[in-house]
Amino acid sequence: MPKTAEIKTLQNTGSKTKTLISPAIATLVPVIGFALAIHVYSNELLLTYMAIYVALAQGVNIMYGFTGYLPFGYFGFFGVGAYVSGLAMLNYNLPPVVAVIVGGLGGALVGAILSPLFRLRGAYFAIGTLAASEAIYTIVANPSLQSITNGPYGLNLANYYSSGMAYGSAIALVAISIIAVSYVRGSRFGLTLKAIRDDPYSASMAGVNVPRQRFYAWLISAAIAGMAGSIFGWATSVFYPQAVFDSSLSVLAIVFALFGGVGSVWGPTIGAVLLYSVYNAIGISNPEYFQLIYGLVIVLLVLFAPRGLLGFWNFFAQKIRRKRVTND
């Protein structure tokens, strides 16, 4: 009996260690990768944008991968973060790093204001978030609000420009977003979200406060997008409303997350790095070919790997393990 107890203790300790090690590796590998990439590839701005998209894909992952709600209007939080942080720098002379945090809080605040959208489901929720974000863009770009937001003329943050610090902040945001996903995936909160995603009625009957749990996930996701927008504005130095309230930001973030595999820690990171690399290799110089390739990738993904690259890999890995067990 004592030996059995010891074995169980060791097994429990081992599983806990694996749980701790896996998120650490999932966080450290991208962070170290981005830190070393600058010594190999000199385009710091491009790497900053790639890191921003990794964070955005992870933000979508928290929302869609764990709650099943697809935020087509995700770019709204991104734009709000860019403007809140930019105005905080210009009007209150806040240090950029602090302004990034304020931008994240701005995104979360807008997320809280838009939380009644959870009364909608499926495509209606996706369209609702899109309409809400377009409405925010219209307000920000309104010429009559030029004294507050500078209207359609955008913001100039040239006095605060620091490419190195912006890149470092983008890497830090990658780490924050992955840690957030790791926590959600491995915690009781994440299990609750999955239960809500699979069957909200059963989860509600089991005593889960469905609206509250979704609200928390929504705030985390919105805060990540807000900080991403803040870093984008800082790194770009001069930006206009149409650049930060661009619906293609949501589309790319969603595609990156789906391509890598939502509901996982590694998937959105892999998807964002691979597809954004393809975008920069083909999309800028030959946009027509890029759209064709993107379309083919999405069609193939839906047909053959609906769970993304990571799901595809796990499927074959399980097959190989079964064969080994059968042969043994």
Q: What's the pTM?
A: 0.89
Instruction: Please give the Cα distance from 225 to 220 (Å, whole number).
Output: 9
Q: Please tell me the predicted confidence (pLDDT) of residue 14.
A: 43
String of DSSP letters for 107-122: HHHHHHHTGGGGGS-H
Please report where in the chains the tokens 């991208």 appear, as a residue: 30
Helix axes 96-113, 210-236, angle to 10 degrees: 140
155 beta partners: 239
Please report where in the chains the tokens 């009781």 appear, as a residue: 188
- Sketch out the chain's domains with CATH numbers: 26-327 (1.10.3470)
Instruction: Please give the Cα distance from 230 to 165 (Å, whole number).
Output: 13
239 beta partners: 155
Question: DSSP class of residue 159?
Answer: G
Using alpha carbons only, how large is the chain's radius of gyration in Å?
A: 21
Q: Determine how many CB atoms are found less than 10 A away from the CB of residue 276.
A: 22
> Which residue in 249, 109, 227 sits closest to 174, CA to CA?
227
**Would you write out the chain's pLDDT as a tens digit for each of its 328 residues?**
444 444 344 344 444 444 445 778 888 999 999 999 999 988 999 999 999 999 999 999 999 999 999 999 999 999 999 999 999 999 999 999 999 999 999 999 999 999 999 989 888 999 999 999 999 999 999 999 999 999 999 999 999 999 999 999 999 999 999 999 999 988 899 999 989 888 888 888 888 888 899 999 999 999 999 999 999 999 999 999 999 999 989 989 998 998 899 989 999 999 999 989 888 877 666 767 777 777 777 777 767 776 788 776 766 667 677 766 666 6
CA 279 to chain centre: 18
User: What distance, in Å, lies between the first and last C-alpha atoms of the chain?
Assistant: 30
